[in-house]
Amino acid sequence: MNIVYFCFGSAHSSIVSAHIHLGDLPSERIPTEQEILAVGDFDSNITYFLGTLFYKGTDELGRRVFTMGMGPEMDIVREAFLSMIELSGGKREDYVFFMALPHINRLAKFGGALSRRYGLTHWGRKLAIKGIQQSYPRLIEFVKNCKNALGE
Amino acid sequence: MNFLYYSLDDGSKAFHKMKHLLDGDPFFLQTDLTPGKVIPIGQIGTDLIFISGVGKSEAICRMAWAHALSQNGKSLSDWTFIRVDE
Protein backbone atom coordinates (compact mmCIF):
# COMPACT_ATOMS: atom_id res chain seq x y z
CA MET A 1 0.00 0.00 0.00
CA ASN A 2 1.26 3.45 -0.96
CA ILE A 3 -0.22 6.61 0.51
CA VAL A 4 0.18 9.86 -1.41
CA TYR A 5 -0.64 13.18 0.20
CA PHE A 6 -0.93 15.75 -2.56
CA CYS A 7 -1.48 19.46 -2.96
CA PHE A 8 -0.52 22.20 -5.42
CA GLY A 9 3.23 22.33 -4.84
CA SER A 10 4.23 19.62 -2.36
CA ALA A 11 5.70 22.29 -0.11
CA HIS A 12 3.26 22.89 2.76
CA SER A 13 -0.06 21.07 3.35
CA SER A 14 1.00 17.69 1.92
CA ILE A 15 4.40 17.87 3.61
CA VAL A 16 2.96 18.59 7.05
CA SER A 17 0.25 15.93 6.59
CA ALA A 18 2.80 13.29 5.63
CA HIS A 19 4.98 14.09 8.62
CA ILE A 20 2.00 14.00 11.00
CA HIS A 21 1.14 10.60 9.51
CA LEU A 22 4.69 9.35 10.06
CA GLY A 23 4.92 10.76 13.59
CA ASP A 24 7.68 13.23 12.74
CA LEU A 25 5.31 16.04 13.78
CA PRO A 26 3.06 15.82 16.85
CA SER A 27 -0.55 14.69 16.59
CA GLU A 28 -1.68 15.94 20.00
CA ARG A 29 -0.45 19.56 20.01
CA ILE A 30 0.59 22.41 17.71
CA PRO A 31 4.27 22.27 16.76
CA THR A 32 6.63 25.20 17.19
CA GLU A 33 8.14 27.06 14.25
CA GLN A 34 11.42 25.24 14.87
CA GLU A 35 9.73 21.84 14.81
CA ILE A 36 8.03 22.60 11.48
CA LEU A 37 11.28 23.82 9.93
CA ALA A 38 13.12 20.80 11.32
CA VAL A 39 11.30 18.39 9.00
CA GLY A 40 13.61 19.75 6.33
CA ASP A 41 11.36 19.63 3.28
CA PHE A 42 8.84 22.22 4.47
CA ASP A 43 8.56 25.15 2.02
CA SER A 44 11.33 23.76 -0.14
CA ASN A 45 9.90 22.25 -3.34
CA ILE A 46 10.23 24.16 -6.62
CA THR A 47 8.04 24.22 -9.74
CA TYR A 48 10.37 21.95 -11.73
CA PHE A 49 9.57 19.06 -9.40
CA LEU A 50 5.78 19.20 -9.70
CA GLY A 51 4.66 15.68 -10.64
CA THR A 52 7.51 14.15 -8.63
CA LEU A 53 6.63 11.38 -6.19
CA PHE A 54 8.57 12.16 -3.02
CA TYR A 55 9.10 9.28 -0.61
CA LYS A 56 8.76 10.48 2.99
CA GLY A 57 8.96 7.26 4.97
CA THR A 58 7.20 4.07 5.97
CA ASP A 59 4.51 4.17 8.63
CA GLU A 60 3.95 1.85 11.58
CA LEU A 61 1.93 -0.55 9.42
CA GLY A 62 4.57 -0.83 6.71
CA ARG A 63 2.83 1.48 4.23
CA ARG A 64 4.97 3.80 2.18
CA VAL A 65 4.08 7.49 2.51
CA PHE A 66 4.71 9.95 -0.34
CA THR A 67 3.89 13.52 -1.28
CA MET A 68 3.26 14.94 -4.72
CA GLY A 69 2.66 18.47 -6.03
CA MET A 70 0.20 18.41 -8.90
CA GLY A 71 -0.24 22.06 -9.90
CA PRO A 72 -3.69 23.37 -10.86
CA GLU A 73 -4.99 20.33 -12.81
CA MET A 74 -4.79 17.69 -10.10
CA ASP A 75 -7.26 15.23 -11.62
CA ILE A 76 -5.31 15.11 -14.89
CA VAL A 77 -1.96 14.58 -13.20
CA ARG A 78 -3.31 11.89 -10.87
CA GLU A 79 -4.83 10.04 -13.82
CA ALA A 80 -1.57 10.41 -15.78
CA PHE A 81 0.35 8.84 -12.91
CA LEU A 82 -2.13 6.02 -12.21
CA SER A 83 -2.67 5.03 -15.84
CA MET A 84 1.10 4.80 -16.32
CA ILE A 85 1.33 2.71 -13.15
CA GLU A 86 -1.13 0.27 -14.71
CA LEU A 87 0.56 0.22 -18.11
CA SER A 88 3.93 -0.53 -16.51
CA GLY A 89 2.65 -3.52 -14.60
CA GLY A 90 1.41 -2.05 -11.32
CA LYS A 91 -2.02 -1.79 -9.79
CA ARG A 92 -3.75 1.55 -9.43
CA GLU A 93 -5.48 0.36 -6.24
CA ASP A 94 -2.06 0.11 -4.57
CA TYR A 95 -1.93 3.92 -4.53
CA VAL A 96 -4.31 5.91 -2.34
CA PHE A 97 -4.37 9.68 -2.81
CA PHE A 98 -5.44 12.23 -0.21
CA MET A 99 -5.74 15.92 -1.09
CA ALA A 100 -4.26 18.00 1.73
CA LEU A 101 -4.74 21.50 0.28
CA PRO A 102 -8.30 22.18 1.58
CA HIS A 103 -7.14 21.62 5.16
CA ILE A 104 -4.95 24.72 5.49
CA ASN A 105 -6.17 28.30 5.77
CA ARG A 106 -5.70 31.29 3.48
CA LEU A 107 -2.74 32.61 5.45
CA ALA A 108 -0.81 29.38 4.86
CA LYS A 109 -1.66 29.42 1.15
CA PHE A 110 -0.77 33.12 0.83
CA GLY A 111 2.51 32.71 2.67
CA GLY A 112 3.33 29.61 0.63
CA ALA A 113 2.68 31.43 -2.62
CA LEU A 114 4.81 34.40 -1.53
CA SER A 115 7.69 32.07 -0.72
CA ARG A 116 7.51 29.53 -3.54
CA ARG A 117 5.95 31.46 -6.42
CA TYR A 118 7.22 34.99 -5.85
CA GLY A 119 10.53 34.26 -4.17
CA LEU A 120 9.81 36.23 -0.97
CA THR A 121 11.04 33.34 1.12
CA HIS A 122 11.72 35.10 4.43
CA TRP A 123 8.28 36.68 4.95
CA GLY A 124 6.40 34.06 2.95
CA ARG A 125 7.77 31.23 5.06
CA LYS A 126 6.94 33.03 8.32
CA LEU A 127 3.35 33.57 7.18
CA ALA A 128 3.08 29.97 5.91
CA ILE A 129 4.25 28.63 9.28
CA LYS A 130 1.77 30.86 11.14
CA GLY A 131 -1.02 29.65 8.84
CA ILE A 132 -0.01 26.02 9.28
CA GLN A 133 -0.03 26.44 13.07
CA GLN A 134 -3.53 27.97 12.90
CA SER A 135 -4.68 25.12 10.64
CA TYR A 136 -2.91 22.39 12.58
CA PRO A 137 -5.95 20.98 14.44
CA ARG A 138 -7.66 20.52 11.04
CA LEU A 139 -4.56 18.81 9.65
CA ILE A 140 -4.44 16.42 12.60
CA GLU A 141 -8.11 15.58 12.03
CA PHE A 142 -7.49 15.17 8.29
CA VAL A 143 -4.67 12.68 8.80
CA LYS A 144 -6.71 10.84 11.41
CA ASN A 145 -9.59 10.54 8.93
CA CYS A 146 -7.19 9.33 6.21
CA LYS A 147 -5.89 6.60 8.52
CA ASN A 148 -9.45 5.64 9.43
CA ALA A 149 -10.36 5.47 5.74
CA LEU A 150 -7.45 3.10 5.23
CA GLY A 151 -8.90 0.82 7.85
CA GLU A 152 -6.54 1.56 10.69
CA MET B 1 9.97 0.77 -27.80
CA ASN B 2 6.95 2.67 -26.52
CA PHE B 3 5.86 5.94 -28.10
CA LEU B 4 3.46 8.16 -26.20
CA TYR B 5 1.92 10.91 -28.31
CA TYR B 6 0.18 13.52 -26.21
CA SER B 7 -1.67 16.75 -26.89
CA LEU B 8 -2.42 19.79 -24.76
CA ASP B 9 -6.14 19.00 -24.53
CA ASP B 10 -8.10 15.90 -23.49
CA GLY B 11 -6.17 13.81 -26.01
CA SER B 12 -8.41 14.49 -29.03
CA LYS B 13 -5.65 16.02 -31.13
CA ALA B 14 -3.29 13.16 -30.39
CA PHE B 15 -6.05 10.68 -31.18
CA HIS B 16 -6.82 12.18 -34.59
CA LYS B 17 -3.14 12.44 -35.49
CA MET B 18 -2.45 8.81 -34.61
CA LYS B 19 -5.70 7.53 -36.10
CA HIS B 20 -4.49 8.89 -39.41
CA LEU B 21 -1.08 7.25 -39.04
CA LEU B 22 -2.64 3.93 -38.00
CA ASP B 23 -4.81 3.85 -41.15
CA GLY B 24 -7.96 4.61 -39.19
CA ASP B 25 -7.73 1.41 -37.20
CA PRO B 26 -7.18 2.37 -33.56
CA PHE B 27 -7.81 -0.04 -30.70
CA PHE B 28 -10.48 2.09 -29.10
CA LEU B 29 -13.20 4.64 -29.76
CA GLN B 30 -12.55 8.33 -29.15
CA THR B 31 -15.30 8.40 -26.53
CA ASP B 32 -12.90 6.49 -24.24
CA LEU B 33 -10.67 9.56 -23.91
CA THR B 34 -10.11 10.70 -20.34
CA PRO B 35 -7.84 13.70 -19.64
CA GLY B 36 -4.52 12.47 -18.29
CA LYS B 37 -5.15 8.81 -19.07
CA VAL B 38 -2.49 7.02 -21.11
CA ILE B 39 -4.25 4.80 -23.65
CA PRO B 40 -2.75 2.13 -25.92
CA ILE B 41 -3.94 2.85 -29.43
CA GLY B 42 -2.03 0.59 -31.79
CA GLN B 43 1.22 -0.89 -32.96
CA ILE B 44 3.62 -0.01 -35.76
CA GLY B 45 6.05 -2.87 -36.33
CA THR B 46 7.37 -3.70 -32.88
CA ASP B 47 6.64 -0.23 -31.52
CA LEU B 48 3.68 0.22 -29.23
CA ILE B 49 1.76 3.46 -29.67
CA PHE B 50 -0.04 5.29 -26.86
CA ILE B 51 -1.89 8.58 -26.66
CA SER B 52 -2.84 10.97 -23.85
CA GLY B 53 -4.10 14.47 -23.23
CA VAL B 54 -2.38 16.57 -20.60
CA GLY B 55 -4.37 19.82 -20.61
CA LYS B 56 -2.10 22.63 -19.43
CA SER B 57 0.02 20.29 -17.29
CA GLU B 58 2.56 19.08 -19.84
CA ALA B 59 5.70 19.21 -17.71
CA ILE B 60 3.91 17.91 -14.60
CA CYS B 61 2.42 14.91 -16.44
CA ARG B 62 5.77 14.05 -18.03
CA MET B 63 7.32 14.05 -14.56
CA ALA B 64 4.43 11.94 -13.17
CA TRP B 65 4.83 9.39 -16.01
CA ALA B 66 8.54 9.10 -15.29
CA HIS B 67 7.90 8.50 -11.59
CA ALA B 68 5.18 5.96 -12.29
CA LEU B 69 7.57 3.98 -14.48
CA SER B 70 10.23 4.20 -11.79
CA GLN B 71 7.79 2.83 -9.20
CA ASN B 72 7.52 -0.37 -11.22
CA GLY B 73 11.23 -0.59 -11.99
CA LYS B 74 10.73 0.32 -15.65
CA SER B 75 13.23 2.36 -17.59
CA LEU B 76 12.31 5.76 -18.90
CA SER B 77 14.64 5.08 -21.82
CA ASP B 78 12.11 2.54 -23.16
CA TRP B 79 9.64 5.37 -23.67
CA THR B 80 9.55 8.36 -25.97
CA PHE B 81 7.11 11.17 -25.17
CA ILE B 82 6.10 13.24 -28.21
CA ARG B 83 3.87 16.30 -28.16
CA VAL B 84 1.33 16.55 -30.97
CA ASP B 85 0.80 20.20 -31.85
CA GLU B 86 -2.01 19.90 -34.40
pLDDT less than 50: residues of chain A: none
pTM: 0.92
What confidence tens digit (pLDDT) does each residue in A105-144 have? 999 999 999 998 888 989 999 999 999 999 999 999 999 9
Q: Which residue of B has its CA nearest to A47?
A: B60
pLDDT band for position B16 (50/70/90)?
confident
A137 touches chain B (CB under 8 A): no
Q: Give the model confidence (pLDDT) of B33-62 as tens digits.
A: 899 999 998 888 899 999 999 999 999 999
Dihedral sign of CA atoms A115, A121, A127, A133 in order: positive
pLDDT of residue B28: 64
> What string of H, E and C letters represents the secondary structure of chain A?
CEEEEEECCCCCHHHHHHHHHHCCCCCCCCCCHHHHHHCCCCCCCCHHHCCCCEEEEECCCCCEEEEEECCCCHHHHHHHHHHHHHHCCCCHHHEEEEECHHHCCHHHHHHHHHHHCCCCHHHHHHHHHHHHHHHHHHHHHHHHHHHHHCCC
Higher per-residue confidence, B73 vs B30: B73
Phi and psi of A17, rounded to 5°?
Answer: -60, -45
The answer to whether residue B85 scores a pLDDT higher than 90 is no
- The pLDDT, as a whole number, for residue B21 is 76
For the segment B4-14, the average pLDDT, to the nearest whole number, is 93
pLDDT at residue B86 in the model: 64
Closest to A73 (Cβ–Cβ): which among B57, B69, B72? Answer: B57
Is A51 part of the contact surface with chain B (CB cutoff 8 Å)?
A: yes
The answer, for A114 touching chain B at a CB cutoff of 8 Å, is no
Contacts for A29 with CB less than 8 Å, ≥ 6 apart: none
Measured CA to CA, the distance from residue A10 to residue B67 in angstroms comes to 15
The pLDDT of residue B18 is 85
